[in-house]
Chain A
Amino acid sequence: MKLLALMVALPLLTAFLLSVINSISTFAARWAGPVVLLVTAAIGLSAWPHLGDTPQAVQWGGFQAPLGITLYADQLALLFALAITIGALLLWPGRGEDRTEEHPDDHSRNRLRRASLALLLAGTGSGLALSGDLFNIYVFYELLTVVSYGLIAGRGTSGSFAATLRYLVISGFGAALALAGIALVYQAAGTLNLAQLAQLAPERLNNSQGFAAFVLMLIGFGVKAELFPVNFWVPEVYATASSRVSALLAGVVSKLALLIIMRLLILVFHQPEALTVLLVLGVLGVASGELAAWRARDVNRLLAFSSIGQLGVMFIALSIPGNAGVLAALAVAVHHLFLKPSMFLLAERWGGSIKGLAGAAKTSPLGAALFVLLALSLIGVPPLPGFWAKLLVIMPLLALDQPLYYFAAFIVLAAAALEANYLFRVVLTLYDKAPAATPHKAHATVDLATAVFLGAGLVAAVFMLAPLAERFDFIAAQATDVSTYIQTVAPLSLESGSVQ
């Protein structure tokens, strides 16, 4: 299973070589990116069944843990690595955009730049998902951040630069905090390998220092996961970046950050306070996001705020102790993974104020119908998948029988009611009679096709609920199995884990 490492290496390598390839053959440069992503996706998919029985660990550079670069792949990690790879492929930046005004020279240069950014995104994203130690996670995370700067600023408008700057500032702070957290962990445990940390955590990190480290890392990594106090970049960025970039960031990248926090929670930090912090921040995220979305005046911002709310729900789900929490977060995350990109793609041609969209359904009936479907699933109307995901979140919340969790359940439900209101205001506007003057742009075929593909995935899920639920259950169980993690990464050398 060393091949899995290629999921990280191959896209990164291709990205760096792309300009070289371009000087040899533009045709090769144009197709190299998608082909590489296809290959890596195939690698990932072929590895999927094997990981069902036993998770795999790969040591890079020939050193055993804790010294080498450890990649750890269970189905959870692979799921997200696949998500970013296939996501980058489907949402290949720059496609479907109107480029008639672009200079031909710029055109090919921009395409090259976007291609390498997409490859970098896939590579670093996969790396983030598969990494098995904190240092690598940090490195990949930073790389990912830099790639996203490039993507967001790619549109070249002043708005997008301003948004990027804001994002830059917050990310910088986040990175510093995360680093501080990692330092605290290292100071306490003397290692950054997650498997080793998992072993040492009960004695070394189950204290206030460990808790502080968790909070710092949570806020640090939370920047990308749209965690409440560090998500102020979200509305501006999504409103100004191209829809495909927003789709990637909101749909996929945010889930990667979530995955890291999930891993840290499962393996390292077991303090009940950690869960409380997550719960509180999650609730604040849901409340602030959904409330802000209620007054949003354009679709992109609306989706941005709503995605803050959705991520808040995932944090609430994560705050549920045990298997149920991971399962719930996973279900919501995967649902969101399909749904949000599709919505952002539809929003591509629905810019400007929501009021101006009146009659847009006439121009693109399929797009409007799909939007209705997505909206229904997002607010959780049975039998669409969103409903079952919501069920998985609320059932354990209520089962815990504690006031704070009851309150969280209430907030999730109330937020759904609010969501129904603002989403269907948009829907009704789409179907309203058009004022004669403004013709609406139809969706680019590729955007619409991708959105429909993702939407079809949601519908298909309705018919496979039982097997899907079983599979998610299994993935969650596998992910929460700490001893397997430890065994897989370093079967031998763990008792000699004192490095300092």
Chain B
Amino acid sequence: MHFSELLVELVLMPLLAFVIGLAMVLMMRRIGARIQRRVGPPLLQPLYDIIKLYGKETQISHGLMHEIGIIMAVGGYVAAETLLPVPGMSGLADKGGAVTLAYVLMIPSLGLALGVGQCANPNGSIGISRALTAMLAYDIPFILVIFGASYLYGTTNLAEMIAIQQQQGVSSWGIVQMPLLALAALLTLPAIMGKQPFEIYVAPAEIATGPMVEMGGKYMGGLFVMQCFQLYTAGVVFTTLFLGGGMYWITFLPKIFLVVAIPMSIAYLFPRYRTEDVLRVMWKWPMLLGLIGLAMVMQ
């Protein structure tokens, strides 16, 4: 591939991800609203939100690390998006692969954690403690899923996984080949996205005890951007592993929106789990499904 082409891809991929992510945020809010019999926000509301946050006059910084933390949170996702192949663009998919991606995705969380830590607010630290515990809860079954997919396809290269599924048709899709793993991944998705019923670490309803406690203005804006990427990444990863990725955007986009929509619709129906219950649930069901699924894959 030509270098300049690659460069264009590297710029385009995060941009697209951001735009799609915004749309996903909108969709998420609309779903929530419909379930609660509200109208929901207008089309450009997420964008307005971001612009509003960045444009605020009162922007309190608690020190350099606070700022670097936000930069890491956004930057890490920007980088991660280039590792995720989408129709027509595979970016750096061949330089890293699924396991690398999983670890690059922890950089934003680490950045956020460091930034919040610098704020010297115990409530923020408590939020991080919960967030990291939740990460321990959902990432272990999730990484099992990645293991299963890598083993099944014989590669960790996401672009090749897509190619294999595309060539051999629907019967070769991950969801057909390893349904239990797909189910396990689906169960972990809300937690990965920080949504109900596993959103205690974000604690959106009680701002005083969560990572966001000292975040305002563009700091909050950074987290908003991060959330867009988060939703997009979750959708694309699942689609890549289980739904054959996409040759064309026209087939690809519905898949990723669907992937995000399903857990989102179910999520609003559940009450919230406590931190230790997140662990208990994640280590029980997705893990069990994942292990059985793996056993079936490796037969």
Whether A and B touch (Cβ < 8 Å) is answered with no
**Interface set of A (CB-CB < 8 Å, partner B):** none
**Interface set of B (CB-CB < 8 Å, partner A):** none
